Amino acid sequence: MAGKFKVPRGTYDILPDESYKWQFMTNVFREVAGEFNYREIVTPIFEKSDIFERSVGETSDIVEKEMYKFEDKKGRIFALRPEGTAPVVRSFIENGLLLKPNSAKLYYLGPMFRYDRPQKGRFRQFYQYGIENIGSNDPYVDAEVISFAYMFLSKLGLKNFQLQINSIGCKNCTQDYDNALKKYFAPYQNDLCSDCRKRLEKNPKRVLDCKVKTCQIIAKGAPSMLDYLDEDCTTNFNKVQQYLTEMRISFVVNPKIVRGLDYYSQTAFEFIDTNLGAQNTLIGGGRYDGLAEQLGGRELPGIGFAGGFERLLLSMEEENLSFGQPQTPKVYLVTVGNEARSAGIKLILELRRSGISAEFDSDKTSMNAQMKRANKTGAAFALILGDDELKRNMIIIKNLANGEQKEINITDIIKSLKDK
């Protein structure tokens, strides 16, 4: 039966038959976060819009086209968060987390919002996971952050992915590269898309990140940032590669990776699914040493990554990987007779208090209807309690997989179930 209202375009419901897959992915992510000693941070889903305009960059698609902005009753302009790094860094500065132990390594999970064209694996409300490591510019930290992402994908069972890395330089060496890009793209200016013509003046590296086919073809012959790195950036990038090699994490250097946000500097990386089509980036990240300063704090290095659960789900299904089992009750209680029903209601609460998942359908009264329901729930066992059994303080436990059943004393049922 269709209702009057429908889910907004570009959003979706995570239904009970699918939610266990999301729980599996988030549980693995939290598990890896614990192994790397990252702790969770939760920020509001909306912030002052200038946090993103200052950090993400005025020429980025997010700011120019995709932010959900709104004005509150006092005339202040807010935005639903389009990404997670700027809010985390804002919170890090505001709450003085640099001075608190174990607070420099943070992870987050939650919804993000972008007014984007809905397509496979891409939505207007999407769910993201990410980490931020704030306070160190040691290239080992870059490699550690990348290794976190690598371990997460590996623990999920994914095999068809590739790590691509690049260095996009720092403010000391990027100006020469920007000038070289402007010179290269100048003859093609009329062939570039309208967005890239604007980017060419304000931030030419963003042209390399364009998804328009014509721009991608033109960009193939563009100069490489690696040829313009200064000595410090070159040394840093070589160190990152050395550490990844020592960690036995294979990678490909891709000079075209610039990432889509203006706050990135030096190390940039992506994990690519080699089975998916154009939308194939599973995880993207990099260093953002100037972001804290942009948001009003002191100069503070940082690096992190983020990925979307939607695309991760597609990749896992493409490789036919297991998400574990959907949630089912361990036992289903069947009662026959008024006295047995009253006793069963008390029993089911005792089972739940003991950590045993139990189901009981009060609308079903006949033995046949209850047993049918028990099988539909996927329960492992049915507990059958009638007035006759109750008088003898006994209960029937039936294995719903093989049909075997036996009577046991009611006082022993919890111990018996815990042993199974």
282 pLDDT band (50/70/90 cuts)?
A: very high
What count of Cα atoms within 13 Å lies in the side-chain half-sphere of residue 404?
A: 1
Tell me: pLDDT of 241 over 90.
Answer: yes
At 58, the pLDDT band (50, 70, 90 cuts) reads low
Residue 405 has pLDDT above 90, yes or no: yes
Residue-level pLDDT at 175: 84
Superfamily of domain 16-173+229-318 in CATH is Bira Bifunctional Protein; Domain 2 (3.30.930.10)
Q: What would the two tokens of residue 384 be? A: 């059958």
DSSP-derived 3-state class of residue 297? coil
What is the structure's pLDDT at 207?
86
pLDDT of residue 244: 98
Q: What DSSP string runs through 241-259? A: HHHHHHTT---EE-TT---
- CA atoms of 62 and 231, how far apart (whole Å): 32
Residue 325 reports pLDDT greater than 60: yes
Q: Do domains 16-173+229-318 and 331-418 have the same CATH topology?
A: no
Q: What percent of the chain has pLDDT over 90?
A: 66
Number of Cβ atoms within 10 Å of the Cβ of 302? 26
Can you give the pLDDT at residue 36? 97
Is the per-residue pLDDT at 264 higher than 90?
A: no
pLDDT (0 to 100) of residue 195: 83
Tens digits of per-residue pLDDT, 65-87? 688 999 999 999 999 999 999 99
- Please give the average per-residue pLDDT across 356-360, as a whole number: 95
* 3-class SS of residue 78: strand
Domain covering 331-418 in this structure, CATH number: 3.40.50.800
Tens digit of each residue's pLDDT (9 = 90 or more) over 153-179: 999 999 999 999 999 888 888 888 888
Q: Does the pLDDT at position 56 exceed 80?
A: no
User: Residue ranges per domain, the chain?
Assistant: 16-173+229-318, 331-418
Task: Give the pLDDT score at 101.
Answer: 82
> Per-residue pLDDT averaged across 76-101, rounded?
92
- What pLDDT is recorded for position 306? 96
Burial 332-344 (b: 16+ CB within 10 A, else e): bbbbbeeebbebb
Backbone angles phi, psi at 265, to 5 degrees: -150, 155
What tokens appear for 280 in the block? 């194939």
Q: What angle do CA 99, 101, 106 make, to 5 degrees?
A: 95
Stretch 208-233: mean pLDDT, rounded? Answer: 88
**54 or 378, greater pLDDT:** 378
Q: What pLDDT does residue 296 have?
A: 85
Q: What is the pLDDT of residue 67?
A: 87
Distance CA 353, CA 274 (A): 47
C-alpha distances in Å from residue 169, one per residue of 40, 184, 232: 30, 19, 9
Determine the pLDDT at residue 116: 78
Q: Are 110 and 66 in contact (CB under 8 A)?
A: no
Residue 1 has pLDDT above 70, yes or no: no
Q: Which residues pair with 382 in a beta bridge?
A: 332, 398
Looking only at the bridges linking them, the beta strands covering 265-273 and 161-167 are antiparallel
Task: Give me the pLDDT at residue 357, please.
Answer: 96
Amino acid in the structure at residue 234: T
Q: How does residue 46 score in pLDDT terms, banded at 50, 70 and 90?
A: very high
Question: What pLDDT score was predicted for residue 94?
Answer: 94
Q: Quote the pLDDT of residue 204.
A: 86
Strands 105-113 and 125-134: antiparallel
Mean pLDDT of 93-101: 89
CA distance 192 to 398: 70
Report the chain's terminal Cα–Cα distance, integer Å. 41
Q: Is 40 exposed, middle or buried (CB count within 10 Å of its CB: 0-12, 13-18, 19+)?
A: exposed
Question: Which of 60-64, 190-194, 307-311 comes out lowest in average pLDDT?
Answer: 60-64
In this prediction, residue 235 has a pLDDT band, given cuts at 50, 70 and 90, of very high
- Picking from 232, 308, 319, the residue whose alpha carbon sits closest to that of residue 270 is 308
CB 289 within 8 A of CB 168: no
- Choose between 362 and 2: higher pLDDT: 362
Confidence of residue 294 (pLDDT cuts 50, 70, 90): confident
Per-residue model confidence (pLDDT) at position 260: 59
- The neighbouring-strand residues paired with 111 are 127
Q: Do residues 419 and 354 lie in contact, with contact meaning Cβ atoms separated by under 8 Å? A: no
The average confidence (pLDDT) of the chain is: 90
Query: Cα–Cα distance between 114 and 97 in angstroms, integer?
Result: 28
